[in-house]
Each structure stands twice: as C-alpha cells, then as structure tokens.
Amino acid sequence: MPQPGPPGQKTSLLVLEGMGFRVGQALGERLPREMLAFREELDVLKFLCKDLWGAVFQKQMDSLRTNHQGTYVLQDSSFPLLVRMGSGLQYLEEAPKFLAFTCGLLRGTLSTLGIKSLVTASVAALPACKFQVVIQRS
Amino acid sequence: MAVCVAVIAKENYPLYIRSVPTENELKFHYMVHTSLDVVDEKISAMGKALVDQRELYLGLLYPTEDYKKRYGYVTNSKVKFVMVVDSSNTALRDNEIRSMFRKLHNSYTDVMCNPFYNPGDRIQSSRAFDSMVTSMMIQVC
C-alpha cells in the first residue's frame, strides 16, 4: 500500500493515472463511430473535447487551443469532479488528486487512437481546470 | 461462412487467429500474412484521397483470386481484421460479410473493455469472443 505523506502520494497519483489510462484505452475503442473519421491530429483532439467529454461527463470541453506544434490546451470552466468541492481558491492543493484519473483517461484514449502523449492538469481556481496535452513525436 | 478469422494488432502481429482445423493451418496463416500488405496499401490510399467518409470495411483484398476470398476491415485504432472465406459453398453477399465484420468489431471492443485484458496481449481467455468466431466459421465434422 502506498505510504501516507509525499512519497506515498506520488505513487497513488501514478496508480490513479494508470487506471485512467486503461479506461481511456477501452473508451478509445468503443466511442469512435462507424467511420474512419480521424484524418489528422486536430480531429482526434476535437473528438476528445466533444465525444469523450460528452460520454464521460455529459458536457463538452469549453475550449481547445493549440500552438500547432504538438501542444494542446483543453479548458473546462466547470469541471464536474471539482464543481462539488467549492469555487474559488479553497482546496486548490487537493484539486490535482482529483484530476490524475482524468489525465490518464485522455492519455489512454489518445494512445488507442495512435497518438503518444503526455497529459498534465492544472487548476487556477475551482472549478475551472486546464489539461495540457503534449504530443510525443519520436 | 469463414474458414479463417484473424485479428491483427496495429503493429502487425496477430492477436487472434483461428482457422478450420481440417486443412493445413500454416497455409491460412500465410494467406493472412500476405493480405496485410494489401490492407496497408488500402489504408494509405484512403489517407491520401480527399474523401469525406472513409469506411472501416475494406472489401475484397485480392480481386483475382476466386477460390478462397479474403476480406479486410480496419478499426479506428488501426487494428485489422482479415477473414478468409470459402466461396465454393455459397456466394456470400457483401452485406453478410459486413455484418460478420461488425460482429467481430463489437466482440473485439468488448474484449478491450475487459479490465483483465491487457491491450496488446493475445486474445486467448475470452469465451465470448471464441464462441462468436465459432458461430462464423464453417461447421466441419
């Protein structure tokens, strides 16, 4: 069992992210429609923002930005897992724990659709959060 | 009815391959292996064409062969299904082949969602998948 305190917390977050990754892999297989619809990376990201978010959280991502060089920022102004916790700056430290699974979810879905990535999340003020997706090109 | 059904991962190694046991099985493995080139060619051709709708079903892979026909299908995750069909018995219509592939795709998705299955492993412990493939293959003996 992971120990309490900072080293244990890091392991726990890794475990959560891993679980999210596996679920994302399965969703990446089940959600895309009966067409080979993804012509390019941006289409896959749009799929994440609309279909994946819609299926898991019953809402769509609020904004998607990119620098066209492999980095995408997905913003959700009212993330369902954080909405109940409060609004504003309270619980800012605890918020990342609730985002680890979702980062894994995004990374797993991207991986099934053929894209290797690194996903991190940041919270400036609850319940708005940002997910940053960096595509790994080898 | 199929004589051989194969599921190939996106890195082009087999996740599942099963053929009717009476004939030389290696011949079927070889047929599936050679079909992969045609599948890859069709996928890259689709990528270049500016078609709005791109299908998952690839259709007949070798148009010249008329004894044992092979059909291909690719998923969004680049997992390929290849089916070898014996056309001497009944002339199978396109719709039937498509519905067989659709059943394969649904069963494969179910296997993927199984938390005890690691993506990339061989599909060997799923009874539902096995029985679905059995229902599609020719009943010999």
In tens, the pLDDT along B89-113 reads: 556 677 888 888 888 889 999 999 9
Q: What is the CATH number of the domain that holds A72?
A: 3.30.1380.20
Report residue A35's pLDDT band, with 50, 70 and 90 as the boundaries.
low
Chain B residues within an 8 Å CB radius of A22: 115
- What contacts A106, CB < 8 A, 6 or more positions away? A20, A24, A48, A52, A74, A117, A119, A131, A133
Rounded Cα distance, B70 and B98, in Å? 13
Which residue is it, tokens 């492999």? Answer: A70
Tell me if A125 is assigned to some domain: yes
Tell me if A61 is assigned to some domain: yes
Tell me if A19 is assigned to some domain: yes
Cβ atoms of B113 and B98 within 8 Å: the answer is no
Angle at B26 between CA B108 and CA B137, to 5 degrees: 45
Specify burial of residue B83 (Cβ count, 10 A radius: 0-12, 13-18, 19+). buried
pTM of the predicted structure, to 2 decimals: 0.85
Tell me if A52 is assigned to some domain: yes
Cβ atoms of B16 and B122 within 8 Å: the answer is yes
pLDDT at A19 (0 to 100): 93
Lateral strand order in the sheet of B14-19: B14-19, B2-8, B80-86, B68-74, B57-60
Chain B residues within an 8 Å CB radius of A28: 76-77
Tell me if A75 is assigned to some domain: yes
Rounded Cα distance, B84 and B87, in Å? 9
Q: What is the extent of the structural domain holding A99?
A: 9-135
Question: What share of chain A has pLDDT > 90, as a percent?
Answer: 39
Q: What's the number of domains chain A is made of?
A: 1
Q: How far is B118 from chain A (nearest CA, A)?
A: 9
- Which candidate from A22, A25, A113 shows the least CB-CB separation from B76? A113
Rounded Cα distance, A6 and B109, in Å? 38
Cβ–Cβ below 8 Å for B77 and A112: yes
The stretch A114-135 carries a mean pLDDT of 90
Q: How many other C-beta atoms lie within 10 A of the C-beta of residue B22? A: 10
Cβ–Cβ below 8 Å for B54 and A113: no
Strands (E), B87-132: none
Strands (E), chain A: 63-66, 71-76, 117-125, 128-135
The stretch A20-36 carries a mean pLDDT of 85
Tell me if A110 is assigned to some domain: yes
Q: Is the peptide bond before A127 cis (omega within 30 degrees of 0)?
A: yes
φ/ψ of residue B9, rounded to 5:
-70, 170
Whether A40 shows a pLDDT value over 90: the answer reads no
The stretch A36-64 carries a mean pLDDT of 86
pLDDT at B65 (0 to 100): 63
Domains of chain B, first to last: 2-136 (3.30.450.70)
Rounded Cα distance, B93 and B52, in Å? 26
pLDDT at B141 (0 to 100): 43
In tens, the pLDDT along B38-92 reads: 888 887 777 665 554 456 777 777 766 666 778 888 888 888 888 888 766 556 6
Which of A38, A40, A43, A112 has the most B C-beta neighbours within 10 Å, making it the best mutation to test the interface with B? A112
Tell me if A53 is assigned to some domain: yes
Whether B2 shows a pLDDT value over 90: the answer reads no
Tell me if A4 is assigned to some domain: no
Cβ–Cβ below 8 Å for A36 and B109: no
In tens, the pLDDT along A61-109 reads: 999 999 888 899 999 998 888 888 878 788 888 888 889 999 999 999 9
The stretch A27-53 carries a mean pLDDT of 83
